[in-house]
Structure 1
Amino acid sequence: MKPMPTLRQLRYLVAVVERRHFGRAAEACLVSQSTLSAAIQELEDLLGAPLLERSRRLVVPTALGQDIATRAQALLKGAEDLVDAALAARDPFTGPLHVGVIPTIGPFMLPQAMPALRLAFPQMKFYLREDQSARLVEQLHAGGLDAVVLALPYPMEDVETIEFARDRFWVACPPGHRLCKASAVRPADMALEDLLLLEDGHCLRDHALSACELEGARRNVAFQGTSLHTLAQMVANGLGVTLLPEMALDAGILRGLDLSVVPLDGETPYRRIGLAWRRSSGRKETFHRVTAVLRNAMTKGPAPQAHQA
């Protein structure tokens, strides 16, 4: 039988390649540096080739070492999913769940959703990480996260998703603005305005442009904000108008600002909110149940009234 590397050896190699340092890798793996070095030496002897170039100050993977470390990450994630599947078969609603959430959803959804999740799953511990969609999806594939809450559609491979809410866009503008006179703002009307949107990297920017049918009119984007709160302040300063999701309005993002809001009209004046997880995950029953709780928690009360600050 062909000799095979152990998961322990592969985990140690990945840790060294990621950190470029034996000491820090050993600390991350909770072992001594000598134990980690010996395991990697055993792996090199097994494969018959050097995986790392060692010097006093620096550790650099060889081309083979980098390739094996990349392949090992997928193997280690598969082994972890295998264990998760076994644990989930015993009790899918206990233990830790690491969930990522994007910044245009987290601050507005979590105060409403987390009490419902804690009540529904008292034996689960939810660990949350807020970041932009691209980095969250990267961490999802790498195994650092179990699931991600984000706005759909978003380009992802080897994942499953369930939509649990539709978050309508509202136009925020200063009182007396021409758009405030309408009961709903047509997408064509937005093309004539200085539209304030989030900077590149925030998927809400693309979803807002799509909702008001301005994909080809990015020249109308006058300024870029770093957060929805910043956009609201810029509108209050008379720099233009913006699109805000309903969950942000429900959370009081315009509190203290002299602004009006009017619903956006059109075929799809909303963004879709969903939960995504790796297709290989063994916790699918957990995610389906979590999504059901989120859907119930996100059921809206009365929508914001047009022309009210």
Structure 2
Amino acid sequence: MNLAGLSLRDLEYVVAVDEQRHFGRAAERCAVSQPSLSAQIRKLEEVLGVTLFERTSRRVLPTQPGELVIRQARIVLEEARRLLTLARGMEGALAGDLAIGAIQTLGPYLFPHALPVMRRHLPDARLILSEGRTDGLLDELREGRIDAVLLALPVEGDGFATEALFFEPFLLAHPAGHRLEELPSIALADLDPSELVLLEEGHCLRDQALAACGATARGMRHATGLETLRHMVAAGAGYTLMPQLAAGEGTTVGGLIAYRPFEGEPPGRRVGLVWRASDPRGPGFRALAERLRAEPPPGVRPA
């Protein structure tokens, strides 16, 4: 096979179609016309001798051999980006487009504190923010679709580098007027697991709350997101463990929720910055983590 028939741009087209599952949206993302993108992908299919996508009027799906090619295309593109970084003498620098994800129970509450630090420390970077669940964000990080993730440590899987930023304690969020309000202090032993309301499966905060309370999820009520969980507590459905950063000013839902710290060593989570261990910008991510550690949000403790 003649390598002259392959181009990085064609591989970008293929990855874009796989992510968008639509030729028109993929063309728009790549800033080319749809006929041009479609023609280049067909040309690549001829060069490779495989059909990469099933095309119907309703959907676009990768074929089985197409999935293998697309997976390898991501690796080739990631290595090409690394080559450019090395060639430009930017080893370790964080500049240009920088995609940073955060878990959904952290991003909306940490970004307001972290963004001013990032903007001052990274004047040459264009920050692209996103949110998701831990497993999905780590998949995106592994595949090179994002550059770093803010989440709860530790992370599972090989190939990641991490820096702890701070420890975020959990508070008890219970309906105003609940019987627990009469207690002078709150301990985990005071909680009845049958009254807990949790996030649905897939959120690491759910697992952390269950572990802290020594409970199982059988028969418990669940919410799809942290704000819905907050409103369930305000509605009197039960109580929950709420991360410190999510219990800021104006989060009592008109006085319907009370937040209480736990006595002694509180339950909580270690928040950290994660990136690919193979990323040549590792020194830059470590420097960013140091800046974020130096200016933590209120209410958290050093990791």
TM-score category (smaller protein): 0.7 to 0.9
Could you say which residue in structure 2 is the equivalent of 1:134? 135
Could you say which residue in structure 2 is the equivalent of 1:210? 211
Could you say which residue in structure 2 is the equivalent of 1:78? 79
SS in 1 for 2:218: helix
Deviation per CA, 1:8-64: give whole Å up to 9, x if none: 3433343455556655544443345565456445545544x2334787858765543
Q: TM-score when scaled to structure 2? A: 0.82
Is the Cα contact below 8 Å between 1:85 and 1:283 reproduced in 2? no
CA RMSD of aligned residues (A): 3.2
In the comparison of the two structures, how many residue pairs are matched? 297
Query: Match for 1:201: what amino acid?
Result: G
Could you say which residue in structure 1 is the equivalent of 2:163? 162
Is the Cα contact below 8 Å between 1:26 and 1:36 reproduced in 2? yes
Shift of 1:212: 2.4
Q: Which has the larger radius of gyration?
A: 1
Deviation per CA, 1:170-224: give whole Å up to 9, x if none: 1122335236514231x3332454001112222211111122232xx22362x21
Question: Is 1:219 the equivalent of 2:218?
Answer: yes
Deviation per CA, 1:223-282: give whole Å up to 9, x if none: 212333333332233221111111122354226324333323576611111111112212
Question: Aligned match of 1:230 in 228, 242, 248?
Answer: 228
- Compared with structure 1, are the counterparts of its residues 189 and 285 closer, same or farther at alpha carbon in structure 2 (3 Å cutoff)? same
Could you say which residue in structure 2 is the equivalent of 1:184? 186
Which has the higher mean CA deviation after the structures are superposed, 83-92 or 287-296? 83-92
- Compared with structure 1, are the counterparts of its residues 236 and 141 closer, same or farther at alpha carbon in structure 2 (3 Å cutoff)? same
SS in 1 for 2:201: coil
Q: TM-score when scaled to structure 1? A: 0.80
Shift of 1:153: 2.9
Give ranges in structure 2 of 5+ residues lacking alignment. Answer: none
Give ranges in structure 1 of 5+ residues lacking alignment. Answer: 304-309
Alignment of 1:31-50 (within 5 A): 31-32=32-33, 35-36=36-37, 39-40=40-41, 43-44=44-45, 46-47=47-48, 49-50=49-50
Alignment of 1:206-285 (within 5 A): 206-214=207-215, 217-219=216-218, 221=220, 223-254=221-252, 256-264=254-262, 269-285=267-283
Identical-pair percentage: 38
Is the Cα contact below 8 Å between 1:211 and 1:268 reproduced in 2? no
Is the Cα contact below 8 Å between 2:101 and 2:129 reproduced in 1? yes
Deviation per CA, 1:270-306: give whole Å up to 9, x if none: 1111111112212112211221222222253599xxx
